[in-house]
């Protein structure tokens, strides 16, 4: 009696089933990847929004001028925001002992009035593939001073300062705008992204 040879490899049916499963997996993965990419853009924009809210309220609470420093390289991939007691800090500096670090006095004891200096910066490090553009005109830095009375920035935005965030590879965009009285808002620069649908006042 002749022994049958054992077949190896895929049959045509098995190959078709495998391809069908792959197509399904790819179709499911695409919206998930888009959602994750959108979340990065939203996270970057909301982080900058919160820093602007913070410097306004902190300047008013301390009753003195505080400084916002914004930096981005020419491609927009390496960007940062810094808050400091003094103008001209470098928000890319991570060493709190450096003379140009973005250092801010914060209260550590409300009763005694004691303060300590902390490094206050927000950077691109947690937002891979999200670039930032300053005012849509190739600026690589911006300095704003917020007064200690009403938190109004100087020089005054005319009419807005804008930071535009864009993801890669699907180009989801959000803008953070600061109006003339220093109030920030998040807007859609192009199509709606995440829960933000209101169009930016200043479009690139």
Summarised one tens digit per residue, pLDDT across range 54-86 is 999 999 999 999 999 999 998 899 999 999 999
- Residue 92 domain-assigned? yes
- Residue 142 domain-assigned? yes
What integer pLDDT is reported at residue 114 of this predicted model?
A: 73
Tens of pLDDT, residue by residue over 24-36, are 656 655 677 788 8
Give the count of domains, the chain: 1
Query: Cβ–Cβ contacts within 10 Å for residue 41, how many?
Result: 25
- Residue 25 domain-assigned? yes
Burial 56-94 (b: 16+ CB within 10 A, else e): bebbbebeeebbbbbbbeeebebbbbbbbbeeebbbbbe
Q: Is 14 helix (H, G, I), strand (E, B) or coil?
A: helix
Give 125's DSSP letter. Answer: G
- Residue 193 domain-assigned? no
Paired strand residues for 106: 116
Phi, psi (degrees; rounded to nearest 5) at 175: -120, 150
Phi, psi (degrees; rounded to nearest 5) at 10: -90, 145
Q: Domain of residue 153: give its range.
A: 14-187
Q: The domain that contains 42 carries what CATH number?
A: 3.55.40.10
- Residue 204 domain-assigned? no
Question: How distant is the alpha carbon of residue 203 from its chain centre?
Answer: 18
Spans of the chain, pLDDT less than 70: 1-10, 20, 23-30, 108-113, 202-204
- Residue 182 domain-assigned? yes
- Residue 101 domain-assigned? yes
As a whole number of angstroms, the distance between CA 49 and CA 174 comes to 11
């Amino acid at each position: 009696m002749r022994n049958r040879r054992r077949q190896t490899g895929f049959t045509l049916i098995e190959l078709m089933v495998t391809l069908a499963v792959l197509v399904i997996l790819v179709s499911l993965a695409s919206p998930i990847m888009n959602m994750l990419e959108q979340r990065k853009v939203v996270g970057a924009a909301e982080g900058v929004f919160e820093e602007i809210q913070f410097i306004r309220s902190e300047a008013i609470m301390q009753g003195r001028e505080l400084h916002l420093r914004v930096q981005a390289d020419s491609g927009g991939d390496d960007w940062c925001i810094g808050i400091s007691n003094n103008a001209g800090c470098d928000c890319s500096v991570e060493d709190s002992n450096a003379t140009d670090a973005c250092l801010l006095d914060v209260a550590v004891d409300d009763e005694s009035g004691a303060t300590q200096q902390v490094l206050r910066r927000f950077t691109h490090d947690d937002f891979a593939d999200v670039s930032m553009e300053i005012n849509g005109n190739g600026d690589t830095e911006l300095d704003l001073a917020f007064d200690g009375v009403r938190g109004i920035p100087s020089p005054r935005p005319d009419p807005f300062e804008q930071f535009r965030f864009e993801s890669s590879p699907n180009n989801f965009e959000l803008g953070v705008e600061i109006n003339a009285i220093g109030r920030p808002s998040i807007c859609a620069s192009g199509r709606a992204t995440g829960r933000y649908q209101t169009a930016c006042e200043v479009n690139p």
